[in-house]
Amino acid sequence: MLRYLHQSLAYSLIVLLTVSCKTYQLIAAKPVPTTQKKVENLYFSSNEDYVYKCQMDIYKHHVSGILIIKKMSDSTHRVALTSDFGNKLIDFEISDDRFKLNYVLPDLDKKMVINFLKNDFQQLLKRKYPVSETFENKNAVIYLSRIDHRGYYLFFGKEDHLLKQVIYTKNNKEKIDFTFDAKKPIFADSLNLRHKDFKINIKLFQITETE
């Protein structure tokens, strides 16, 4: 199954060359004044381990396992993925500007695969966002954070004030949609990571919960 992962990613790059992405725009949202200077994603801020059942769908291929995310410092996390049988697939340390690969299964040791995981988890585990603009729609307050050529739209529920969604854009084009389901601000019960350019979905489901 793992060899299909590399094949599918290679195919997706070919498909990407033929697909043009539209500029991302908020729908049914209006700008609002705010004094908010920054917002945070606190879902991975606890010192306890975050343990999830992980399902990856890459085109028609499915890979599942156990994902463990551990906070090592305010800026660095360690991420390990094992198979359902407990065999380690990949283990790395990551921050906004640092990536250290501790172990990778030979079948996964492809530059393309590593780069996807590095980018996806750098965006997922990013914690602090300076606020550039603020919007709202019927259900959420939306903070836009611009950093170089990247943009992040963070949707916080109006009723529970929890982070519901992060849309990651690059050069104003939507790249990744992170959707969260949570009952508390430091722990997401589930997560759906969906690529816009590629037929790649990563879903995480809670196994253990932090205090």
Give residue-wise pLDDT tens across range 90-141.
999 999 999 999 999 998 888 888 898 899 999 999 999 999 999 999 999 9
Give residue-wise pLDDT tens across range 16-60.
444 445 789 999 999 999 889 999 999 999 999 999 999 988 767
Q: For position 209, what pLDDT does the model report?
A: 53
Q: For position 112, what pLDDT does the model report?
A: 83
Q: For position 56, what pLDDT does the model report?
A: 86
Residue 86 burial (10 A CB sphere; 0-12, 13-18, 19+)? exposed
- The percentage of the chain sitting over the pLDDT mark of 70, rounded to a whole number, equals 88
Confidence of residue 211 (pLDDT cuts 50, 70, 90): very low
For residues 180 and 196, is the Cβ–Cβ distance under 8 A? no
The β-bridge relationship of strands 128-130 and 163-170 is unpaired
Structure tokens at 195: 């690529």
Give residue-wise pLDDT tens across range 148-194.
999 999 999 999 999 999 999 999 999 999 999 999 999 999 999 99
**Length of the chain in residues, anyone?**
211
pTM for this entry: 0.87
CA distances from 155 to 65, 74, 113, 138 (A): 29, 23, 29, 11
Given a cut of 90, whether residue 7 has pLDDT beyond it is: no
Give residue-wise pLDDT tens across range 60-73.
778 899 999 999 99
Q: For position 9, what pLDDT does the model report?
A: 54
The CA distance from 143 to 162, in Å, is: 13
Given a cut of 60, whether residue 205 has pLDDT beyond it is: yes
Q: What is the mean pLDDT of residues 65-85?
A: 95
Confidence of residue 5 (pLDDT cuts 50, 70, 90): low
| Phi/psi-derived region of residue 196, left when phi > 0, alpha when psi is between -120 and 50, beta in every other case | alpha
Residue-range domains of the chain with CATH? 2-208 (2.50.20)
Strand stretches in the chain, DSSP E: 30-31, 38-40, 50-58, 61-71, 77-83, 88-94, 99-104, 128-130, 133-136, 140-147, 150-157, 163-170, 173-184, 187-195, 200-208
